[in-house]
Amino acid sequence: MKALNYLRADTIDNALQYLDEFKQDIRILAGGTDLVVRLKQDMIKENNILDISRIKELNGIFRKNGTIHVLPLTTHTDILESEVIEKYAFILREACATIGSPQIRNRGTLGGNIANASPAGDSISALFVQTAKLKLKSINSERVVSIEEFFTGPGKTILEPNELLVDIFMPELEENEIGFFKKLGQRNALAIAVLNVAVKMRRSETGTNTFDRAVVAFGAVAPTVVRGRRVEKAIVSSSLDSPEQIHYIAKLSFREVSPISDIRASLKYRQDMSINLLYEGLLGLSANDWKRKA
C-alpha cells in the first residue's frame, strides 16, 4: 500500500474547502469499509484522504414535513435501530439488514454505500423504490438530484470531485404502501448480492388485489441499479389475484435486466433469479393479504 496524506474535516465547510483545494487528488473516507479494501489493493489513485467521519452535521435521522432525512454518515446499524426508519422507510431497513455483518454495519455508512456506486450496493435498490433524493454540495454550489440520476456506471456517479453528498431524503411511506427488499447472496451474511430486488406498491382504495402505484428496482443485473418499469406498469394495470398472474408479471423482469456472468453467478441464473426473487417477494406479500409484515 502506498503512503497517503491524511486530512480530517470537522465541519461541512471545512470538508468543502479541502475538496476544493485538492480537486482531483482527494478521496473522501467515511466508514472506510469500501475505501480501505481498495487502498489495500492499490486501486486508489488519489494521494490525499479526507476523513469526514467526525462531521457531526452529517450524522442523523429525522422527519420533516412528511420527509425522512438520513444524513450520509448514518451507519447501517443506526438505520436498523431507528424507529422512524422502521415505520416510514422499512424497505430501506430491510436492505440495510442484509449488508455485510454486524462489524461492517457498525462502520459502513449509507452515504458510502451510495457514493461507492456498486451495482450491487444493497441500499441503492431500496432507495430507488423509496424515491430518494440526494443533496450534493460544493464550496460554491448546491444541487438536489434524484437517486436514479446519480449513477452513470459501475463505480461512476455525477458527483463532481469537489462535491460532497450531504443529505439523503425521501417521502415517508404511507399507511397503504407495502413492499419488500430481497437479496440473493452466496451465503446468509457477508455476501455480495448475486442479485437484489426492491418493490414498493400502494394499495388502491378500490379492489383488494389492485395497486395504483408501484416502483420496482433490481440490483447487480446491470451497470447500475435499474428500474423495472414494465413490471411496475403491469402491477398497476392488473389485479394480482393468483400465483399465476403474479408469475406472469414477475416474468416481465426478464426484459428489464442485462446481467453478466461472473465468478458468483452466470448470466442465465441471474436472469431467472430476477424473475424468481420478485415472484417470491410478491407471493410472500400476497400470502400476507398484501399487508406489511405483522
Ligand X SMILES: Cc1cc2nc3c(=O)[nH]c(=O)nc-3n(C[C@H](O)[C@H](O)[C@H](O)COP(=O)(O)OP(=O)(O)OC[C@H]3O[C@@H](n4cnc5c(N)ncnc54)[C@H](O)[C@@H]3O)c2cc1C
* Closest approach of ligand X to the CB of residue 207, in Å: 36
| The only residue of 72, 119, 228, 259 in contact with ligand X, by rule CB under 6 A | 72
Per CB under 8 A, residues contacting another protein are: 1, 101, 184, 186-192, 263-266, 269, 272-273, 276-277, 279-280, 283-284, 287
Q: Within positions 193 to 222, which residues make up the interface with ligand X, using CB under 6 A?
A: none
Burial zone of 75 (CB within 10 Å; 0-12 exposed, 13-18 middle, 19+ buried): buried
Shortest CB 86 distance to another protein, Å: 21
Least separation, in Å, of the C-beta of 77 and another protein? 16
Q: Which of 27, 133, 202, 203 binds ligand X (CB under 6 A)?
A: 27
Give the 3-state secondary structure of the chain: CCCCEEEECCCHHHHHHHHHHHHHHEEEECCCCCHHHHHHCCCCCCCEEEECCCCHHHCCEEEECCEEEECCCCEHHHHHHCHHHHHHCHHHHHHHHCCCCHHHHHHCEHHHHHHHCCCCCHHHHHHHHCCCEEEEEECCEEEEEEHHHHEEECCEECCCCCCEEEEEEEECCCCCEEEEEEEECCCCCCCCCCEEEEEEEEECCCCCCEEEEEEEEEECCCCCCEECHHHHHHHHHCECCCHHHHHHHHHHHHHCCCCCCCCCCCHHHHHHHHHHHHHHHHHHHHHCCCCCCC
Task: Name the residue whose CB lies closest to ligand X.
Answer: 112
Q: Which of 16, 22, 26, 33 binds ligand X (CB under 6 A)?
A: 33
Residues 9, 16, 26, 34: which binds ligand X (CB under 6 A)?
Answer: 34
115 binds ligand X (CB under 6 A): yes
Question: Which partner from the list another protein, ligand X, none does 188 bind, CB cut-off 5 to 8 Å by kind?
Answer: another protein
**What is the distance between the alpha carbons of residues 67 and 77, in angstroms, rounded to a whole number?**
21
94 near ligand X, judged by CB under 6 A:
no
**Residue of 7, 26, 29, 215 interacting with ligand X (CB under 6 A):** 29
Which listed residue (9, 16, 26, 35) binds ligand X by CB under 6 A? 35
Is residue 184 near ligand X by the rule CB under 6 A? no
Q: Which is nearer to ligand X, 159 or 234 (CB)?
A: 159
Under rule CB under 6 A, residue 228 binds ligand X: no
Length of the chain: 294
- The verdict on 119 binding ligand X (CB under 6 A) reads no
Give residues in contact with ligand X (CB under 6 A).
Answer: 27-35, 37, 72, 98-100, 104, 107-109, 111-113, 115-116, 121-122, 159, 164-165, 190
